[in-house]
Structure formats: C-alpha cells, structure tokens
Structure 1
C-alpha cells in the first residue's frame, strides 16, 4: 500500500472516530426529543407569565413569538380588556389596534417603520367573574435583524415596544397597559437570550454609547437575540463530515465508481434536511461548500477516468494486460 493511501486511510479512520464522538455527544444532549433542556428554547420578558392579572379582570397583552428551524419568525397573541377599559374607550364600537414600535438596533440607524398587527373583534365576557373581553391576533410573520444565509451561524435580533390604540376620528388614542408579556417559543435548534438594555441589545463598540444606554428597558419594551444551539451546529458538522466519505473514497480508488452519484445524493438529502428545497435560487453560504464538494469529487473522478482510459488504450496497443 502506498504512503498516500495509508494517509487517506488514517484520515478516514479519524473521520469515523469523529462521527462516533459526535453521535455520543448528541445522544447525551438529547432530552425527551429536545436538543438540550426543555426550557432551553423558551424565554419571556415583561410581566411574568404566571401573573394572575387575567384572573383579576385586569388589562393584559400577551404576545407569542415562534420560529422554525429555517429561521422564519411568526407573531401571535391575545389581548384581555377589563370591563372598565372596555367601557371607558367604547371598544364595542372602536376597533382595537396594535402597533410594534421597533427599538434601535444600531447607534447609527433610527428605525421608522412600524409593524401593524391585526386584532380580531373583541369577544365580550363581562358576565364572568373576571369581567373582561378578549381577542386573538391575526398571526403574521415579523422582520428580524439577521441573515439566514449565514446558516448555521445565523443569529437574529428583535426588539420592540407594543402599543395598543384605537382611532377617534383622525386622532390616535393610545391605551396604557401595565401587564404586557412576550413569550418566546423557539425551535429546539435555537436559544433565545433576553437583552436588558440598549447597549446590550445593540452590542456595538462605539463612541456614541452613553450612560443612559445601560439603563434597563421598561416593562413594556422587549429585546432579545436568537442563536443556534451548539448541539445543532454539531449536527450540521456531523452531516458535512458524512459528505467527506465519498470524497475520501474517490481519492482512495484507482478507478472512479459511483462516488460522484453518492456525493450528489448525499448533498441533496442533507441540503433538504437542513435548509429545505431550493427556493427562488436563494443561496446560503453553506451551499457553496456543497457545490465545492460536488465539483471536487466530479473533477477527481473525471481525471481518474481519463487516466484509466489512457492506460486501457496503451495496453490494447501493446497487447498486454493493463
């Protein structure tokens, strides 16, 4: 056996050991079908979710932010209005609305675009013990700061101040709710991290940082970042190592076989599992790694096929067995 093939064999052995090590790590991290603990993918800000404000018939706004493995974020929620607020603002006739005022994500950028959230008509329940009316939000996608193309190292930020209001003619009347809760229920591939002040949320080193930037956000402001879990990054690394197996095999063999086909099938399957099918030719950075693996295996296979064909032609001309 040549020195090159011995080196390839050692690399393949190291690769298999790495695959087994990653498998053991993921097996230990898996808890009840989750990557990590049950609460590793959840967080909240504002009024604690266990508050009894709703049971006491108080005004309450609850927002629920979810996402999927591909980083698409959705907003839903519910609003509970006390009898006193319902009568004071005549919400039986005035349509209740919600806007999300974005918090600054950079010292050099001042956000001006507000996100409007549709609220279904209030359902009156004023005859109950807690004397309230309630309504659900129309679920809608929300725009976050971050780039999905950085997968699997993509991080996202989202910060906002929710304000309930209604229109009185051309005048906008804001309602002041004390009990506002945001519940973040992320995919188990993500970890949400609450940010407590402007400096922590922006996370930039700048001369524009002032002392008031370290003051905590108010109860009706919420900011958080979302990062990929380390265990999920291990899964991605594990699948990328699997692609290396046909790549090593094509170098080890004297003649090309089905290595190129195996690489195509493997890359296609892994790409669909991690990112889903190609949508409108939106390319991620990891796609260029997939393309490089396909091109490398295809190039080596082609070169080896050409060499094998040349040896075969020389053997036919010389009349010897090649």
Structure 2
C-alpha cells in the first residue's frame, strides 16, 4: 500500500472517530426529542407569564413569537380589556389596534417604519366575574434583523415597543396597558436571549456608545436575539462529514464508480433535511460548500475515467487485451 493510500486510510479512521464522537454528544444532548432542555428554547420579557392580571379582569396584552427552520418569525397573541377601559374608550364602536414601534438596532440607523398588527373584534364577557372583553391578534410574520443565508451560523435580532390604540376622528389615542407579556417559543434548534439595554442589543463597537445606552429598557420594551444551539451546529457538521465518505472513496479507488451519483443524492437529502428544497433560487452559504464537494468528486472521477480509458487504449495498441 502506497503512502497516499495510508494517508487516506488514516484520514478515514479519524473521520469515523469524529462521526461517532459527535453522534454520542448529540445523543447525550437529546431530551425527549429536544436538543437540550425545553427551557432553552423559550424566554419571556415584560410582565411575568404567571401574572394574575387576566384573572382579576385587568388590561393585559400577551404576545407570542414563534419561528420555523427557515428563519421566518411569526407573531400572534391576545388582548384582555377590562370593563373600565372598554367603557372609557367606547371600544364597542372604536376599533382597537396595535402597532409595534421598532427599537434602534444600529447606531447608524433610526427606524421609522412601524409594524401594524390587526386586532380581531373584541368579544364581550362583561357578565362574568372579571367583566372583561377578549380578542385574538391576527397572526402575521415580523421582520427581524438577520440573514437566513448564513445558516447554520445565522442569528436574528428583534426589538420593539407594543402600543395599543384607537383612532378617534383624525386623532390617534394610545392606551396605557401596564401588563404586557412577550413569550418567545422558539423551535428545537434555536435559543432566544433577552437583551436588557440598547448597547447590548445593538452589539456594535462604536465611538457613539454613551453611558445612557447601558440604561435598562422600559417595562414595555422588549429586545432579544435568537441563535442556533451548539448541538444543532454539531448535527449539521456531522451531516457534512458524512458527505466526505464518498469523497474519500473516490480518491481511494483506482477506478471511478458511482461516487458522483452517491454524493449528489447525499447532498440532496442533507440539503432538504437541513433547510428544505431550493425556493426562488435562494442560495445559502452552505450551498456553495455542497457545490464544491460535487465539483471535486466529479473532477476526480472524470480524471480517473480519462486515465483508465487512456490505459485501455495503450493496452489495445500493444496487444495486451487479455488483461482487460
């Protein structure tokens, strides 16, 4: 066995050891189908979720932020209006609305666009003990700061101040709700992290940072970032390493085989499992790695096929057809 084959054999052994070690790590991180504890994928800000405001018939706004693997974030929730607020602002006739005022995400950018969330019609329940009205928020996507193409190292940020209001003539009247809760319920692969001040949320090294940037956000302001879990990054790495097996095989064998086809099928399966099929020709950074693997396998297979064809032609010319 030549030195090249020995190096390939040692590389394959190290690869297999890495795969098994990573598999054991992910297996130990598994908690009932979750990568890590369930609490690692949830967070909240504002009024504690265990608040009894709803039971006492107080004004309360609850927002729920969820996500999917493709980096799309959705907002839903509900609002409870007390009898006093309902009558004071005549919400039986005035449509209740919600706007999300974005917090500054960069020192060089001042956000001006507000996100409007539709509040469904209030359902009066004034005959109950708490004498309140209730309404659901229409689920809608929200715009976050981050790029999904950086998968699996993509991170997202979102900061806002929710304000309930109604329009009276040409005047916008804001309602002051004291109990506002935001629940972040992320998927298995993400970890939400609450940010408590502007400097921590913007997270930029800038000479414009002042002492007041470290002042805590207000009670109604909510900012957080979402990052991929370390265990999920290991899963992605293991799948990429599995694709190295046909790559090693095409270097190890003297004759080309179905290595290119095996790599192509493997890449298709891994890509679909991780980020889904290609949509609108949107490419992720990881797709260029897949492309490089295909090019490398295809190039090596083609070179070996050309060399094999050349040797066969030389053998035919020399009359040594019996060995072929």
TM-score class normalised by the smaller sequence:
over 0.9
Counterparts of residues 172-251 of structure 1 (less than 5 Å)? 172-251=172-251
1:101 and 2:101 are equivalent in the alignment: yes
Could you tell me which residue of structure 2 aligns to residue 168 of structure 1?
Answer: 168
- Give the paired residue count: 322
SS in 2 for 1:139: strand
Q: What SS does the aligned partner of 2:315 have?
A: helix
Structure 1 CA distance for aligned equivalents of residues 241 and 141 of structure 2 = 34
Corresponding position of 1:300: 300
Q: Partners in 2 of 1:26 and 1:194 — Cα distance?
A: 26
Per the normalisation by structure 2, the TM-score is 0.99
1:210, distance to aligned residue in structure 2 (A): 1.2
After TM superposition, the score normalised by the length of structure 1 is 0.99
Give the Å deviation of 1:70.
Answer: 1.6
Look up the match of 2:37.
37
Structure 2: state its 5+ residue gaps: none
Q: CA RMSD in A?
A: 0.6
Q: Which residue of 1 aligns with 2:122?
A: 122
Where does residue 136 of structure 2 map in the other structure?
Answer: 136
- 1:33-78 CA distance string (max 9 Å, x none): 1000010000000000000000000000000000012211000000
- For residues 129 and 241 of structure 1, the distance between their equivalents in structure 2, rounded to whole angstroms, comes to 61
Q: Deviation per CA, 1:94-133, whole angstroms, max 9, x where unpaired? A: 0000000000001110000000000100000111111110
- Compute the displacement of 1:287 (Å): 0.3
Q: Which moved more, 1:254-263 or 1:204-213?
A: 204-213
Q: Distance in 2 between matches of 1:115 and 1:53?
A: 26
How many Å apart are 1:91 and its aligned residue?
0.2
Q: Secondary structure at the match of 1:137?
A: strand
Query: Which residue of structure 2 aligns with residue 146 of structure 1?
Result: 146
Counterpart CA distance in 2 for 1:155 and 1:112 is 23
Distance 2:317 2:125 in 1: 95
